[in-house]
Homo-oligomer: A and B are copies of this chain.
Amino acid sequence: MRDLYHATGDEVRLFEQAHRQRLPVMLTGPTGCGKTRLVEHMGALLGRPVLTISCHDDLTSADLVGRFLVAGGDVVWQDGPLTRAVRTGAICYLDEVVEARHDSLAVLHSLTDHRRTLYLDRSGEELTAPPEFQLVCSYNPAYRSSLKELKPSFRQRFVTLGLDYLPPEHEIAVIATESGVDTAVAGRLVGCAGMIRQADAAFHFEPPSTRVLVTAARMIAAGAAELAAVQAAVLAPLSGDGALSDGLREIAAAALLPHPATERTAP
Residues on the B chain within 8 Å of A219, using CB: 14, 17-18, 21, 23, 159
Q: Establish whether residues B208 and A156, one from each chain, have CB atoms under 8 Å apart when the complex forms.
A: yes
Chain A positions 119 through 143: 1 when the CB is less than 8 Å from some CB of chain B, otherwise 0: 1010010000000000000001111
Residues on the B chain within 8 Å of A18, using CB: 219, 222, 232
Count the copies. 6
Residues on the B chain within 8 Å of A26, using CB: 236-237
Interface-side segment among A98-106, A184-192, A251-259: A98-106
Q: How far is the CA of A106 from the CA of B68 in the complex (A)?
A: 24
Residues on the B chain within 8 Å of A73, using CB: 72-73
With beta carbons under 8 angstroms apart, the residue of B2, B110, B221, B236 that contacts A52 is B110
Q: How far is the CA of A99 from the CA of B102 in the complex (A)?
A: 9
- A103-B58, A236-B160, A240-B149 given as contacts; is B17 within 8 A of A121 (CB)? no
Residues on the B chain within 8 Å of A21, using CB: 218-219, 221-222
Judge whether A205 is part of the interface by a CB distance below 8 angstroms. Answer: yes
- A155-B240, A215-B23, A240-B141 given as contacts; is B80 within 8 A of A70 (CB)? no
A68 vs chain B, min Cβ distance (A)? 7
Q: Establish whether residues A160 and B237, one from each chain, have CB atoms under 8 Å apart when the complex forms.
A: yes
Judge whether A71 is part of the interface by a CB distance below 8 angstroms. Answer: yes
